Structure 1
Amino acid sequence: MYYYPYYGFDLGYLLLIPAILLTLYAQGRVRSTFHKYLNVRNMRGYTGAEVARAILDRNGLKDVHIEPVGGYLTDHYDPRARVLRLSPQVYNGTSIASISVAAHEAGHAIQHGIGYVPLTLRNTIAPIASFGAQAVWFLVFAAFAFQMFALIDLGIVLYLAAVIFQVITLPVEFNASSRALEQLKVNGFITAEEISPSQKVLNAAALTYVAAMAVSIAQLLRLLLLRNRRD
């Protein structure tokens, strides 16, 4: 029995449309917000690297190194190497956006240092999630090509890890942003007037993770529909 009676059109794609639109909006929002506050110098004149180093040191993480990385908005914390990597605009930048992003990544290092449970869970399932996201559509294709529909069930199980990864990512990212804003305020890196702009940068970045979770859930629903498709 088909769940898709309209001339072979995969109605599962309709599930993706809202999630894709949210993703496009989130990407546009983070880029526009980052660009806006990339041109607003923080009043203390700190660079992103200086802020990150100070936050790490004041939280007992002097062993975490900071290094520049190429690209645009490529900032991240590598828990395996215990290295915080900052893009050129953040590493050398003295803008509100620069120090906010740097503080956010330092927040991830703090999470790792204290054994923040959601981060530990996310790092644990990351390899399975990556494999599941890459393998699922190969399994779906093979299922229909060779009439081995149990492969779809296997694909769904594997893809569940990717969905769980995205769900766990939300508290991890929101918590890192919360820590970042607190560190910026407590350590005097921003003034009272700069709190709102910094928060806008952090909130815009968080929206991209909400969109990623929406896409992964929509894909899972589409897989569940495909599971019931038969020739």
Structure 2
Amino acid sequence: MIGSESPRDGRVETLRERKQRLTREALVQALLDVIAERGVQEATISLISARSGISRGTIYAHFPGGRDELLRAAYARLGEQLVERTRAAVSAAAGWREALAAHADAMFELAGDALTGHFFNVSGPTFIVDGAERGIGSGASARMIAATLDAARASGEVGADVDPGSTAVLLVGALREAAIRVSAGELDPERANLAFARLAAGLAAGRGAAPRPSSGP
């Protein structure tokens, strides 16, 4: 059967599968466009239908859960795009500090978008409280940061006492919290970038081992 290569898993998809995928992608993009223009509260099925030119019936055929299911798909799309941009920037980084800075740059660039960034960092999590969609960006970032720190520690550039996995989780948490404030207009992204760079710099070798927490009163 004539088909085309799926961009996600490399297998050959049928024409029907390709049409279904493109329709779903068009609907998700229409939702993101509506969010970018009006905000998530105004993103109704009617507006998505009007924006995409796809009937309400077809929307529900592809997303039986309606608006909630579409919101999950849109949230996942933003997470995937964030990971792609971050991974490309990390690959082009000259060193471990620049690689860590790439995570902040990508996150705060998305957060700085008035409506789409607000959806991903602030309003989205209130709608999407569980599921794989919530972990796409943070999970990938934590793994990439841990790999960067592990390599830097092995080369002696990062302190031998640094735990790559735990440190990565903490850094991702700091990025997420800062991104929430950037999205809400409470934190300037440039200041956030500088602060994150200073925080990351403290991991460099020669800074001295971190004190052990007290186990007693």
Q: TM-score, normalised by structure 1?
A: 0.31
Q: TM-score, normalised by structure 2?
A: 0.33
Structure having greater relative contact order (Cα 8 Å, sep ≥ 6): 1
